[in-house]
């Protein structure tokens, strides 16, 4: 059998979610998060997440998501919880900060200090975030993979 080299997955460039209306989706997510809009049309919008982006695509027709979800990493999870409450968005039961957007996309909110990936200092600087820290559990996970920040 020939030795075939497989491509190595490096990360995500973007996630695309379907929404009913682009302007309504931008207004909804704009009540929850501070973000930069890369571009938009009647059918698509692109929200910058540093060196990644979230694509909003018009045309959701499926039922609301149950277990399927995507996670958004934030610098202040408590601020998102307050924004969700202020916007009247129902939080889903469970140990995580999950909610459904108006089109049924399930979103999980995760705080940066608790995750295993690290944004490069130049990306954080470009996002206006400076240096964000990690908690002990995240540092341990990163250290075990020889990925801990200096």
- Encode pLDDT of 67-96 as tens digits: 999 999 999 999 999 999 999 999 999 999
C-alpha 24/C-alpha 34 separation (Å) is 16
Phi, psi of 126 (to 5 degrees): -65, -25
From the CB of residue 63, how many other CB atoms can be counted at a distance below 10 Å? 7
39 pLDDT tier (thresholds 50, 70, 90): very high
Tens-digit pLDDT profile for residues 122-135: 988 888 888 888 98
Is there a contact between 109 and 86 (Cβ–Cβ < 8 Å)?
Answer: no
| pTM, to two decimals | 0.88
- pLDDT reported for residue 1: 65
For domain 14-60+69-144, the CATH class is alpha beta
Q: Which tokens in the block code for residue 84?
A: 């969700």
Three-class DSSP category at 2: coil
Query: What are the beta bridge partners of residue 14?
Result: 53
Q: Which tokens in the block code for residue 133?
A: 């820290």
First to last CA, the chain: 42
């Amino acid at each position: 059998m020939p030795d075939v080299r497989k491509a190595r997955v490096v990360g995500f460039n973007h996630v695309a979610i379907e929404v009913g209306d682009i302007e309504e989706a931008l207004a909804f997510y704009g009540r929850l998060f501070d973000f930069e809009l890369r571009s938009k049309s009647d059918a698509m919008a692109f929200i910058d997440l540093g060196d990644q982006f979230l694509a909003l695509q018009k045309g959701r027709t499926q039922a609301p998501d149950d277990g399927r979800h995507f996670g958004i990493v934030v610098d202040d999870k408590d601020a998102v919880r307050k924004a969700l409450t202020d916007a009247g968005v129902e939080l889903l039961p469970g140990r995580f900060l999950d909610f459904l957007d108006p089109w049924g996309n399930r979103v999980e909110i995760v705080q940066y200090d608790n995750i295993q990936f690290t944004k490069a200092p130049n990306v954080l600087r470009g996002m206006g975030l400076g240096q964000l820290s990690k908690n002990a559990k995240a540092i341990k996970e990163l250290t075990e993979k020889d990925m801990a920040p200096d």
